[in-house]
A and B are shown apart, each in its own frame.
Chain A
Amino acid sequence: MAAFEWSPLWLSLRVALLATALVLAAGIPLAWLLARRNFPGKDVLGAVVSLPLVLPPTVLGYYLLILLGNQSVLGRWLNRVGFPLVFTWRGAAVAAAVASFPLLFETARAAFESIDPRLEAIARTLGRPNLFIFWRITLPLAWRGILAGLALTFARALGDFGATLMVAGNIPGRTQTMSLYIYDLVQANRQNQANQVVLIMTIVAVSMLLTARLARRAVK
């Protein structure tokens, strides 16, 4: 029995971590903005960032491929500065990030909305700058919701197949993540190795789900 490759697991973890970091960096400010501010186009923006939840992953990946590939201005610019995304592991991370973005965004937004805005208002009358208030009042009161969203985001990013395949391809040792590896193993009729990989993925996914549930429950 041939042992399975470990490299897809490390790659998957790397992709999922980078994706989660990207989602965190973009998702928290956006979630706060939509929870607290009113501006024209707010509803449209909220719908667009939640779109990855309902779009088929391959369709999403196709959009990203067009946007980041050589056909677009952005893609050509990325190539020029020596940071191509298409067919790289970073591209896989971007694809996984976009696909899992709504999971953090929605939970963080709900967490922000559940905070009485008058707490922040009172804090402002006490003379503290808005950023300080965000760090000391808003985030601490929302962090459990955010943590739950992060766990789901990480699990989703770890398991992405369609979007990653479209953007980064399935290059063993370079962009072949666990999900893609499983597909290859099954195609090659290597049932035993597939079983092991599936087991690992299941354990990771279930533990992420448990983390999310624990974080959520502690909110109540």
Chain B
Amino acid sequence: MLELRLRKRLKNFDLNLALSAPKGITALFGPSGAGKSMTLACVAGLAQPDAGRIVLNGEVLFDADRNINRSPQRRWVGYVMQDYLLFPHMTVAQNIAFGLTRRSRAEKKDIVADALRRIGLAGFERRLPAELSGGQQQRVALARTLVTNPRMLLLDEPFSALDESTRARLHRDVLRLRAELDIPILFVTHNLAEAYRLADNIAVLEAGHLLQFGPPETVIYHPTSRTIAKLTGGSNFFKGRVVAHSPAETVLQVGQVQLVAPPAPVRAEAVVGLSIRAERVMLIRKDGPGGRRENQVQGHIVNELTDGFNYTLFLRLDDGRRLQKGGYDLEIKLPAYVYERLGIAHEKRWAVTIKRRAIHIF
């Protein structure tokens, strides 16, 4: 368990953060320059907070009030960065053995050979870092840290420089590590899919502050503010007026449309912000059973984008029943196979249903 509370004056903002990271993976998620990397540097002892306290498994690593500041050497916090930072003049074996102290030559050799086997690089002992691919270098960097038996692990965007398939492989490695190691792992990323896939908890940071902390589903599907919804890939942001609210539901007037949303702590007549997750707006099949669906509206597609796997449709609502002014009302995301099966290429007029679960009020 890592408990940290720190304040540090930075160039553009103040880092002011309190966080508890249990065993398992905690993703520090946020835009670049949010203070994520600086937080890691403070935990590793490579940067010094102006105030606060950092405690790992009950051991005080840093305490400004009590003048405790352990050196990085005495924290046993493993640190892996985006560009691997292998020592370029040393072989793979020398790199991995660098942190092995008070071991005989034979012991070191065994540990290195074992570590290389575990990362699938057996026999790579005498290679130089420059002779390895990015993914191989990152695995060696991980091994170099892990052989020192760190009490926690800091991963600073470790995979962002790698291609998609290498990254997927390393994701599996990290998940295996989490199962084997039983230590807190702080993982900095600005890739939401990566955070969702790997993390037990996501801490959303912006401008040095913690905005939300919780399991990935909570952070992504129950963001507590518009900023978080934006950071976690939300779209379709509106302002709405509370028409009615009960323990079962909230009814909002958005533009000329009334939407039924999940219950929320709001007052009647209050103007609130809401977002509608684009991948949770459903097109209604024309050959399906009749009857009105939840939050059903009618519109036509005015624009569409695709990356080859997914489509983003821009729907403008008809009959003057608009959600907002402008060229379109709703952004809708769907997989390519759905796009093809529904024949959207030839049919642009659609009724859609906005599931109440897709609506977040903040």
Contact = CB atoms under 8 A, between A and B. Distances in A.
B201 interface: no
Contacts of B99: 126-128
Contacts of A123: 87, 98
Given A124-B73, A125-B46, A126-B99, A118 B144 contact: no
A116 B71 contact: no
Given A126-B98, A126-B144, A127-B148, A119 B85 contact: yes
Contact of A118 (B73, B77, B81): B81
What is the predominant secondary structure among interface residues of chain B facing chain A? loop
A122 B81 contact: yes
B76 interface: yes
> 3 tightest A-B contacts by CB?
A126-B99, A124-B72, A125-B79
A127 B78 CA distance: 10
Interface string B65-97: 000000111111111010001011100000000
A129 interface: yes
Interface in A131-154: 136-137, 140-141
Contact of B87 (A119, A121, A124, A125): A119
Interface of A: 116, 118-119, 121-129, 136-137, 140-141
Nearest to B88: A141
Contacts of B71: 124
Contacts of A137: 87
A128 B79 contact: no
A127 B85 contact: no
Interface residues on B, range: 20 to 34
B210 interface: no
Contacts of B276: none
A128 B85 contact: no
Nearest to B75: A125
A126 B46 CA distance: 12
Contacts of B275: none
What is the predominant secondary structure among interface residues of chain A facing chain B? helix
A125 B72 contact: yes
B145 interface: yes
A122 B79 contact: yes
Contact of A128 (B45, B81, B89, B101): B101
Nearest to A119: B85
Given A118-B81, A121-B46, A121-B72, A126 B87 contact: no
Contacts of B73: 124-125, 127-129
A119 B77 CA distance: 15
A125 B87 CA distance: 14
A140 B98 CA distance: 14
Contacts, number: 50
Given A118-B81, A121-B72, A122-B79, A127 B101 contact: yes
Max chain A CB contacts within 10 Å: which of B45, B77, B98, B101?
A: B98
B170 interface: no
28 contacts: A118-B81, A118-B85, A119-B87, A121-B44, A121-B72, A121-B79, A122-B79, A122-B81, A123-B87, A124-B45, A124-B72, A125-B45, A125-B46, A125-B72, A125-B77, A125-B78, A125-B79, A125-B145, A126-B98, A126-B144, A126-B145, A126-B148, A127-B73, A127-B76, A127-B99, A127-B101, A128-B73, A128-B101
A115 to B, nearest CB: 10
A136 B73 CA distance: 16
Nearest to B98: A126
Nearest to B145: A126
Given A118-B81, A126-B144, A141 B89 contact: yes
A196 to B, nearest CB: 43
Nearest to A140: B89
A116 B85 contact: yes
Nearest to B78: A125
Contacts of A128: 73, 98-99, 101
Nearest to A123: B98
B357 to A, nearest CB: 44
Interface in B77-132: 77-79, 81, 85, 87-89, 98-99, 101
A125 B44 contact: yes
B89 A124 contact: no
A121 B148 CA distance: 16
A139 to B, nearest CB: 10
Contacts of B144: 126
Contacts of B79: 121-122, 125
Contacts of B148: 126-127
A136 B99 CA distance: 12
Contacts of A119: 85, 87
A116 B84 CA distance: 12
Contacts of A116: 85
A137 B71 CA distance: 18
Nearest to B77: A125
Interface string B40-65: 00001110000000000000000000
Nearest to B89: A140
A129 B71 CA distance: 10
